[in-house]
Structure 1
Amino acid sequence: MKIICLHASSYNIALVDEGMRGINIEVDHVVDQQLLHLIQREESEQQYTYIHQKLQQLIAKKPDAILITCTNYIALLEQRPLISEVPLLMIDEMLFKQLPKTRQTLTVLFTNKQIVTGTLQRLRKFCPWVKQIEIMVIDNVFSWYLAGEITKHDARIYETLLSLGNGQLMAAQLSMSRAVERYNQQHQQLVIHPLEAIRKELSMFKNE
């Protein structure tokens, strides 16, 4: 099986490769940082045109599926879907599948303010049983991630998790996964995060 992974940051490549270790899938990574700039300065119609053209280029390579890790892409596709003969795997849908059907308040952590609204709309669509949602944006650290200051970025997320304690927690962005995994391992917690969601979704392809 061959999957193309579409990212907005090259630093997500190592995370996905780590998540797919031991899984019998050929992965081709494509990084597209242009959309982040378009979102800040262009009209919506240009954004939709751009993302559809980019995905058509990837579809033409005839992979078995395309995994989209950029939540900005996903939010735009929610508004303007693309009909594709190649399955488009949305990382947030993988994440939402991990949420237990409980009425407990869910705290969702973000570092990128721009994706909060779109992610919440899709969360409510896919997980209607989640009634109480609290949002926490960890300010300033997403720019560190994009600049390659990964250690500094992960440390702030880890410190934030320490301050929250117990409760139903979910990290909304793949970039947060490394810090969340460290926290889960050291504190026997279960903070839901995208990297573990990828592992579970694709576990059927594990090597024997």
Structure 2
Amino acid sequence: MHIACLHAHYSNINYIEKALAPYDVALTHFTDPALMHHFKENQSFNPYRKVEEQIHWISSTNPDAILITCTNYILYLPTDINIDIPIIKIDEPFFHELDRYETARLYFTNPDTVQGTMDRLYSVNDKANSKRYLFEIIPNAFQLIMANRKNDYTKAIIEHVLNAEASGVIAFPQLSMVDAATLIQSNSHVKIVTPIDALTVYLEREFCLIYK
């Protein structure tokens, strides 16, 4: 199977490559970090048209499916887009996994992804609401990953969550937080949900991915 992936940041490539390495699947990556910048800076910019153009451009490479790893790109995907191959929205399996739990706290580092993610969560899960799902932004962390200080970024997430003595179910919607989530899971007894874990289960079930 050939999956083409659309990312908003190059750092997401490694997470998808690592997660799908055990499977018999070929991956092609397309990265465009400019969508939200133009959306903020140019009032005439049409993000729906841009995302539609990107998806059609990617589909011209003849993949079996397209995986979108950024919630904001998913948010601006036109509902009436005409395309013959499946579009996998990475947040949907993640939201359905969250729905298994009565409540959860979602941690973010990028403030720009919060509104879109929560809106999507409420639209995908009919029973989702602000009492069931709380969210928290980890301060002064996102600037580290943008400065390519990955180790400091991961450390900041771990320290914040462990110092807060988080309990119950906690979730990390951003792919850049997966390494921190793995380390927190090994040093605490909380249940952690990430988009990566939910994605692999979804792909095995819906696309019959097999191990190499």
TM-score with structure 1 length normalisation? 0.90
- Distance in 2, matches of 1:175 and 1:7, equals 12
1:121 aligns with 2:114: no
CA-atom RMSD, angstroms? 1.9
How far apart are 1:45 and its partner, in Å?
4.8
- Distance in 1, matches of 2:80 and 2:143, equals 29
What is the aligned partner in structure 1 of residue 67 from structure 2? Answer: 67
- Distance in 2, matches of 1:102 and 1:173, equals 19
What is the aligned partner in structure 2 of residue 172 from structure 1? Answer: 173
- Distance in 2, matches of 1:81 and 1:38, equals 23
> Which secondary structure does the structure 2 equivalent of 1:198 belong to?
helix
- Distance in 2, matches of 1:200 and 1:180, equals 18
What is the aligned partner in structure 1 of residue 202 from structure 2? Answer: 201
- Distance in 2, matches of 1:108 and 1:168, equals 9
Per-residue CA shift, 1:147-201, capped at 9, x if unaligned?
2111111111111221242112111111111110111123243210112122222
- Distance in 2, matches of 1:166 and 1:206, equals 35
What is the aligned partner in structure 2 of residue 53 from structure 1? Answer: 53
> Which secondary structure does the structure 1 equivalent of 2:134 belong to?
strand
* Matched letter for residue 120 of structure 1: M
How far apart are 1:113 and its partner, in Å?
1.2
8 A Cα contact 1:101 1:129, kept in partner: no
Distance 1:82 1:147, change over 3 A: farther
How far apart are 1:81 and its partner, in Å?
4.7
Q: After the TM superposition, which parts of structure 1 deviate over 6 Å for at least 4 consecutive aligned residues?
A: none
8 A Cα contact 2:66 2:87, kept in partner: yes
Q: Alignment identity in percent?
A: 28
* Matched letter for residue 38 of structure 2: L
TM-score with structure 2 length normalisation? 0.89
- Distance in 2, matches of 1:76 and 1:100, equals 23
What is the aligned partner in structure 1 of residue 141 from structure 2? Answer: 141
Number of residue pairs matched by the alignment? 206
Distance 1:44 1:110, change over 3 A: farther
Per-residue CA shift, 1:15-60, capped at 9, x if unaligned?
1111112111100111112213212212365222211111110011
What is the aligned partner in structure 2 of residue 109 from structure 1? Answer: 107
How far apart are 1:121 and its partner, in Å?
1.6
- Distance in 1, matches of 2:190 and 2:80, equals 36
Instruction: Name stretches of at least 5 consecutive residues in structure 2 with no aligned partner.
Output: none
1:95 aligns with 2:59: no
* Matched letter for residue 107 of structure 2: L
